[in-house]
Amino acid sequence: MPINDQPVTLNGAMIAVRDLRKAIGDEQILRGVDLDVAVGETLVIIGRSGGGKSVLLKHLIGLMQPDAGEIWVSGKNIIGMSERQLTNIRQKVGILFQSGALFDSMTVEENIAFPLREAGMHDVRAMRARVNEVLEVVELQGENAKMPESLSGGMRKRVGLARAIIRQPSCVLYDEPTSGLDPVVSDSINHLIRRLQERFQMTSVVVTHDMKSAMQVGDRIAYLHEGRIYFDGTPAELQQCDDPIIQDFLLGRSEAAPHQDRAG
Ligand SMILES: Nc1ncnc2c1ncn2[C@@H]1O[C@H](COP(=O)(O)OP(=O)(O)O)[C@@H](O)[C@H]1O
Ligand SMILES: [Mg+2]
């Protein structure tokens, strides 16, 4: 039986990643990533800057193709899917890019409605109704006509999030949703991620290097280290973990400080 038809034992996982490998140039970025995201849970992926978190996230919706491995999204292996097939996956899985990636020449409403237009929707009134619904979800009611340049960093993230959920996905991927935001605004974004989980049973994958956010939003935390998932557990388990590599990361010690220090 071809691997694409196998009902692999995914145990109801929203996303399952198996032995994912990716090199960019000479650098082996992903070296065999295994990861499961259960339906309705919030999984946080932490790891050093430049460690491959964004690269991993892009693979999950087919924006990058791996050298080897499998990615199952609600039961379908997305590797080798056509762009048309991936369109269906991207309806199920929304993404909030690190920059927000808003179109500067479009209003808030036009930005948020963009995925609907791309999906072939033309009914202006129906689109506006959907936009207003998601604006309420992200607590930006009435901001339809603003231009992105007039928004604060936190508001831009919210607009990006509204756009990510406009097609009612069952899963949202967040790339550094709180980076560049002050602690109060970060808190409000973290609450929003939690609220989506409670209100819509949303499955979330949150990439961050901010440990406070990771602890706040994560049901589970996975640590990407040297191209593999080195640790996978609850926030409490992570905090109690006395593994030296984990400790170094939690305490913000540099990788350059060799472990021989302690052995010697
Ligand atoms: N499109 C690309 N072209 C070349 N190198 C890339 C590209 N995307 C990522 N990389 C490299 O892959 C590595 C991992 O990047 P990234 O996933 O962005 O790290 P993180 O998100 O964990 O900070 C980095 O060394 C980065 O320079
Ligand atoms: Mg990144």
Residue 220 CA to ligand 2 center (angstroms) comes to: 19
What pLDDT, on a 0 to 100 scale, did the predictor assign at position 210?
87
Check pLDDT > 90 for residue 98.
no
- Residue 226, ligand 1, Cβ within 6 A: no
Which DSSP string corresponds to 1-31?
--GGG-----TTEEEEEEEEEEEETTEEEEE
pTM for the model stands at 0.89
Check pLDDT > 90 for residue 34.
yes
Check pLDDT > 60 for residue 261.
no
Check pLDDT > 80 for residue 221.
yes
Check pLDDT > 50 for residue 238.
yes
* 249 vs 11 pLDDT, higher one: 249
* 30 vs 209 pLDDT, higher one: 30
What pLDDT, on a 0 to 100 scale, did the predictor assign at position 10?
60
Atom of ligand 1 at shortest range from CA of 175: 21
* 21 vs 261 pLDDT, higher one: 21
- Residue 66, ligand 1, Cβ within 6 A: no
| Total Cβ atoms within 10 A of residue 199 | 9
φ, ψ for residue 96 (rounded to 5)? -105, 110
Atom of ligand 1 at shortest range from CA of 48: 22
Check pLDDT > 60 for residue 5.
no
Query: Is domain 3-263 given the CATH code 3.40.190.10 in the classification?
Result: no
Find out whether 19 and 227 touch, Cβ atoms under 8 Å: no
Q: What is the pLDDT of residues 53-94, one digit of tens each?
A: 999 999 999 999 999 999 999 889 999 899 888 988 888 999
Residue among 22, 45, 54 whose CB has most ligand 1 atoms within 8 A, to mutate: 54
Tokens matching residue 143:
């901001």
Query: Domains of the chain: which residue ranges?
Result: 3-263
Measured from the alpha carbon of residue 24, the closest ligand is 1
Residue 122 CA to ligand 2 center (angstroms) comes to: 34
Residue among 21, 29, 46, 225 whose CB has most ligand 1 atoms within 8 A, to mutate: 29
- Mean pLDDT, to the nearest integer, of 106-122? 93
Find out whether 158 and 140 touch, Cβ atoms under 8 Å: yes
Check pLDDT > 60 for residue 256.
no
Residue among 24, 174, 224, 229 whose CB has most ligand 1 atoms within 8 A, to mutate: 24
Listed in order, strand segments (DSSP E) in 194-257 are 203-207, 220-225, 228-233
What pLDDT, on a 0 to 100 scale, did the predictor assign at position 255?
57
Q: For a pLDDT cut of 90, what percent of the chain falls above it?
A: 72
Nearest residue (by CA) to ligand 1, atom 6, is 24
What pLDDT, on a 0 to 100 scale, did the predictor assign at position 11?
65
